[in-house]
Structure 1
Amino acid sequence: MNKEASAVETHELFDYINDPLNAQQVKEVLGDTLIQEPEERALPDNRQQLILDRIFNHQSLPAKKFKHRVPGWVKLAAAILLFVLPGIYFLKNNNPKLAALSAINKPKQIDVQPGGNKAILTLGDGSKIVLDSAQNGLLAHQGNTKIVKSANGHINYDQTAKGNTTAIYNTMTTPRGGKYDLQLSDGTKVWLNASSSITYPIAFSGTERRVTITGEAYFEVAKNKEMPFKINVNGQEEVQVLGTHFNIMAYSDEAAVKTTLLEGSVKIVKDKLTSMLKPGQQAQLTTDGKLSVTDDADINAVMAWKNGQTLFVNEDIKTIMRQISRWYDIDVEYQGEMPTRLFTGGISRESNLSILLKVLELNKIHFKMAGKKLIVTP
C-alpha cells in the first residue's frame, strides 16, 4: 500500500497468493474472478497487476472480510516488511515460505516489557539529566547553545549566537532497554540504539566536526563541505563523511564493527587501512584488525532497530540473544549445546519478550526465566 515493495518482497507476496494451501484465504479477499487453478497461475502478468490494483484500492475488497478479519498476506502487503502487529512471520532454517504463527498472543509466564525512549544526558560540568523523565522545553543553557527537549521527546541543540564553545562537550548514553535521538547544533540527526553513547561538542567550529560513539548509531549528517564530519568508533576506527546517511554497529561483544552506507559516501580509516563506501555497501572491521567490504548489505536488517523492528537474517541463536538482551534489558545464560542452524525472522520492537520467545520455541529453542536472567536450552 506504500508502493515501496522491492522486487523480492513483491515476489514473496505472490508466492503466498499462488500457494494452493492459501487458496481459500486468498479467495475470501480477492474473490473468485482473480483466482486461477495452479496450472494457470504462471500465465498472465496482468493478473498480478489486477491483484495489486485491488490491494491498493482496498475499498473494492469485500467489506465484511476486512471488518472482521484481515488475512496475513494482506497485512504483509500493507506493511511491506515481515512485521505485522500482532502477527509474526518467521522463516525457519532459511525456508523461503512465510509461516503465520497464530498462538503468539496467548499469555505466557516469561514476559518482559520492551525497551523505550530512555537516556541520560551528561553536560559539560558533569551534571546529568534523565531524559525520559525530564520535562519538555529548555533543559540547559551552555555557552551560546540551548538544549531543548521537544514535545515528541527529541533533543535539539540550538546555537543562539556565534562563538567558540567547542570546548564544551556533552554525552548522551542509552542503557539496555533504551533508545534516543537528538539533533546536533549543525543539524545532523543521530539515533542511538540500546547500550550506546555519543560524545559531541555542543557547537561546532574550526575545520571539522568530530564526535565519538560506542554501541550503535544511525546518522543523517548535515552537509558542510568546509567542515567534514568525523566519527571515532570505540577509540579505534574513524569514519569520515561530508553529508550522508549511514549506520554504525560497534558493540564490544560483537565480532566486527559494521558501517553500512545508505546514501552519499563515507571513508573508513583504521591505521593504514582505508575504504571508501558506496550506497548499499557495508564495511566490517574485525577484532583482529581486518577490514573488508560487502557490496550487498541487507539494508532492511541493518535499519530494523531504527524503524521499530527486531529482525534477524541468517543469524545464529547467540547473535539473536545478544540483540534481545540489549533491548529487553535481560541477562542470558546458555545450558547445553546450542544449535548451529540459522534463523531469519522479525517482530515489532514494541512486542513483549514472550511473543518473540514463542517464535523461537516453535523452532525448538527453550527458555526459562530466573529473575532478570533468561536461561536458554536446546
Structure 2
Amino acid sequence: MERWSDDRFTEAERRELIDMLQSASTEQEIIPVLEDMWEKIQDEGLFSEAQQQTMIKNILDRYPGREFPVDKETGKGMHVGYRNSFIRKWRWAVASSVALIIGVGIYYLYQKKHAETPTGVVQSITNRQQGKSSVLLTLSDGSQVLLDTVKNGRITLQGGTIAKVTNGTLEYERTGSEVQYNTISTPKGKQFQLRLSDGTSVWLNAESSIKYPVVFTGKERLISVTGEVYMEVAQNPSIPFRVEVSGGTSVEVLGTNFNVNAYDNEQSVRTTLLAGAIRVAMKGAAHKLLKPGQQALTTTRNKPVQVLDDVNAVSVVAWKNGVFDFEDVPLEEAMRQLARWYDIEVVYQQTIPKVQLGGTIKRSLPFTDVLYFLSNVGLHYKLEGNRTLIILP
C-alpha cells in the first residue's frame, strides 16, 4: 500500500494489489491498513465534513439493504466522528471503496446513484503513453530541437546562443547580440519548464506554446502564449512585462505570479492571479486590475472583462504540480483536461451526464487507472480504437 500511494509500484504489483483488495481471503490483513489511511484522510482535512458524509453514504449506497446510520434524537445522518464503530462494523464495504478512492488519487463523486454494470472492461485496455510527440524548440530560422532528447546538458543554438537543460528546465546561459525569437511548444500529454533571460520562470501545460525573445531589449518584455501557462515574473519596474494571448487578450505585470488558460476549446480565456498585481485587457474594452485570488474572464473583442472573486488559485495551478484538481469542475471541462493529457478524443453519445466531480488525481497515473475510476463512479463508456472515449447515457 505504501508503494502504491507513493507511485513506486509496477504494473504487475498494481494488478496484484487490486486482486488482493477484492479477495475475501486477505481481508483481515488489508482492512487495518485501509482504516489507518481513512483516518489519515480525516486527520489531514482533505475533505470537509459534508464531503465525508457524502462519501460514506455513497459507499453504503453500493450495497443494497444496508441502512445509513441515523441519529435517533435528530433523525439526521450521524456525524462522521461518531460513526467509527459503525464504519468498522461495515468495514468490508468501506475497504473496497476506500481502496478505490486512495488508488486513483483520493477521489470522491457527488452523486446519489451508482451504475450497476459500467460499460468497458479496464483490464483489457492497453495503457496509452502520454504524448507520442516531443517538446519542440523552434528557432528564428525555422530549425527545431527535440527538447525531450536533451537530458541534462548544454546545447548550442542559432547565433552563438548557448542554453542548458537541467531536470527538464531550459535556461539560457549566453545569448548573442542579435534579437532572436524562439518558440517552445508542448504536445498532448507533456509539460515543460523554461527560465527566460530576465529570470522569469514559465511552466507550459500540455498542448501549449510560448514565443519569446532570447534576450529582452527595449522598453518592455513582450511574449505571446497559447494553451495554458503559469508564470513567476521577475520584478523589473522599469521594464514592464506583457503577455499577448490568442484572441486579443493581453496581460501586463510588473512582478507577479499568475496563470493563463487560453485553450481554443474553452469558452473564455481565464487569467488567475496568485500574487502581485496585473492588468488584464481585451481589445475594444476597458482593462481590469486584478488582486490575488481574482480571475479575469475574456471572450471576444469589445466585450467587457469579467472579474471573479475568491477563486481557488491553488486548484487552478495544480496542473504544474502534476495533479488534476477537479474540485467543482464540470464533467465536460474535466474531460477536456483528460483529453489533452492522455491524447484522446471524448465523444458524448447523447447529452452530457449531470455529475459533479471533486478531489484530486495524479497526472502520472496510467489511463487504465482513470478508466477504472470512471467505471466505478457510475459513468458508462466505451473505448473505440484505444483513442476515442465515448460517454454513454
Normalising by structure 2, we get a TM-score of 0.69
The 1:13/1:134 distance shift into structure 2, 3 A limit, reads: same
Following superposition of structure 1 onto structure 2, how do residues 229-378 of structure 1 map, counting pairs within 5 Å?
229-271=241-283, 272-287=285-300, 289-371=303-385, 372-378=387-393
CA contact (8 A) 1:94 1:314 kept: no
Contact 1:94 1:343 in 2 (8 A): no
Aligned residues: 308
Paired with 2:295 and 2:252, the residues of 1 have a C-alpha distance of: 15
Say if 1:110 and 1:369, in contact at 8 Å, map to a contact too.
no
Q: Distance in 2 between matches of 1:258 and 1:153?
A: 26
User: What is the letter of the counterpart of residue 141 of structure 2?
Assistant: D
In structure 1, runs of 5+ residues without a counterpart are 1-7, 23-37, 43-69, 76-82, 96-105
Give the counterpart letter for 1:186 in structure 2: D
Say if 2:205 is the partner of 1:187.
Answer: no
CA drift of 1:357 comes to 2.3
Aligned partners of 1:115 and 1:177 also within 8 Å? yes
Q: How does 1:115-194 map to 2 (within 5 A)?
A: 115=131, 118-143=134-159, 145-150=161-166, 152-159=167-174, 164-166=177-179, 168-194=180-206
CA deviation after TM superposition for structure 1 residue 312, in Å: 1.4
- Counterpart CA distance in 1 for 2:274 and 2:232 is 10
SS of alignment partner, residue 273 of structure 1 = coil
Give the aligned residue type for 1:283.
Answer: A
Instruction: Rate the CA distance shift 1:116–1:350 in 2: closer, same or farther, 3 A.
Output: farther
**Closer, same or farther: CA 267–9 of 1 in aligned 2, 3 Å:** farther
CA distance in 2, matches of 1:269, 1:210: 15
Is the 2:294–2:310 contact (alpha carbons within 8 Å) kept by the matching residues of 1? Answer: yes
Q: Write the letter of the residue equivalent to 1:253.
A: N
What residue is the counterpart of 2:107 in the other structure? 89
Q: In the superposition, relative to structure 1, how do residues 356 and 11 fare at CA in structure 2: closer, same or farther (>3 Å)?
A: closer
Cα distance change, pair 173–41 in 1 and its aligned pair in 2 (3 A): closer
Shift of 1:358: 2.4
Task: Give the 3-state SS of the residue equivalent to 1:176 in structure 2.
Answer: coil
Q: Tell me which moved more, 227-236 or 134-143.
A: 134-143
- 1:359/1:92 Cα in 2 relative to 1: closer, same or farther (>3 Å)? farther
The 1-side partners of 2:112 and 2:221 are apart by 43
Q: Any idea what the Cα deviations from partners look like across 1:10-65, whole Å, max 9, x if unmatched?
A: 3837779999x79xxxxxxxxxxxxxxx89969xxxxxxxxxxxxxxxxxxxxxxx
Higher helix share: 2
Partners of 2:154 and 2:79 in 1: how far apart? 66
Identity of aligned residues (%): 40
Counterpart position of 1:99? none
Counterpart-to-counterpart distance in 1, 2:51 and 2:335: 29
Q: Does 2:230 match 1:218?
A: yes
CA distance in 1, matches of 2:152, 2:81: 56
Change in CA separation of 1:204 and 1:296 when aligned onto 2, cut-off 3 Å? same
Q: Is the 8 A contact 1:113 1:351 kept in 2?
A: no
Output the amino acid matched with 2:152.
Answer: N
Partners of 1:180 and 1:337 lie apart in 2 by: 35
CA deviation digits over 1:73-108, x for unaligned, max 9? Answer: 9x9xxxxxxx9565432232499xxxxxxxxxx835
Aligned-residue offset at 1:301: 2.1
Gaps of 5+ in 2: 1-42, 58-77, 83-94, 114-121
